[in-house]
Amino acid sequence: MDKFRMIFQFLQSNQESFMNGICGIMALASAQMYSAFDFNCPCLPRYNLAYGLGILLVPPFILFLLGFVLNNNISMLAEEWRRPQGRRGKDPAVLRYMFCSMAQRAMIAPVVWVSVTLLDGKCITCAFCTSVPVETLGNASHPGLSQGEMKRVLARIPCKEIYNGQELIANEVAVRYLRCISQALGWCFVLLMTTLAFLVRSLRPCFTQAAFLKSRYWSHYIDIERKLFDETCAEHARSFAKVCIQQFFEDMSRDLAAARLHPPRKAPADAGEAAEKLLGITDQGTMNTALKSWHKCKPPLHLHPPALSRGNGWAGEEQPPMHPSVPRREMAAYYSRV
């Protein structure tokens, strides 16, 4: 258990690196999922487009949502967005920064899926095989085929074993044409995503450096505050349970002593220390009120430093004059006596 606890603490302290690793694993998993996926085009005019675009767009959407689900900060963002105003204001810029950071990581796996799918070409071939320009690539003057029959013949282009339109257009010609377009779209998509990532990661902080630093600082603060609050609650719950159990056994000991079975035992030495950690919150109702108050009215982000002491006074020492109206000559005389 200690090893698992150490691993969990390491992942918590290196959460950003951990999330980057998760995103990389999801990207590799999406590529492996596509390579292992058994692509079966229906080869029907009414279903080819839906099947091809569905395979191209639905899995990336699922991977995008999965990227948010695996991110631990999504609950923190929702909590910060939905909490009451209270005595602490909510900065929309910080919320946007947190959402954009999570969205950037969640988009890695979908981008990989779309890129691999377009570069492979099967989805585009299945979806748009009925739109092949027969006038340019095949024999448009083929007799005896109506428009509907021609659509049915072209819809079988991805299914080489049942394709029977070689006289209309060669299967290899149509597949190469559609795959060429798909790969061109794939490389354009990769270029577009790379350019957007460069602009977002590199150029945005240069133009809005002050706002960027402010948003990043307070997003880190919200994350750290939540972790410290959870740790404090866990420590308080541990102390609460410890004192509750100790009181139970003390009561049992007194009951047994009253029955003259054995003398009561002394309370453990650390019982007082555990009680001090409760900070005066010693019942369920008070704890629930404290948690509700934390949610509804978090303390303002304005720390009041303790007042500067003018001396402890317990040793009877003469204190130097501190008021600004005291002349410097008197100050110098005091320190010369010291």
Block residue for tokens 């909490």:
83
Q: Cβ(101)–Cβ(248) under 8 Å?
A: no
- Cα–Cα distance between 163 and 179 in angstroms, integer? 17
Q: What is the pLDDT along the chain (338 residues), one digit of tens a residue?
A: 455 455 445 445 555 555 666 666 777 777 777 777 778 899 998 899 999 999 999 999 998 998 888 887 888 888 888 877 777 777 888 888 888 888 888 888 899 899 999 999 999 999 999 888 888 887 766 666 778 888 888 899 998 888 888 888 888 999 999 999 999 999 999 999 999 888 887 877 676 777 778 888 888 888 888 888 888 888 888 888 888 888 877 777 776 667 655 555 555 555 566 667 676 677 778 778 877 777 777 777 777 665 444 444 434 444 444 444 444 444 444 444 44
Kindly state the greatest CA–CA separation across the chain: 120
Helix (H, G, I), strand (E, B) or coil at 39: coil
- Cα–Cα distance between 254 and 76 in angstroms, integer? 47
Record the pTM.
Answer: 0.67
- Cα–Cα distance between 46 and 155 in angstroms, integer? 9
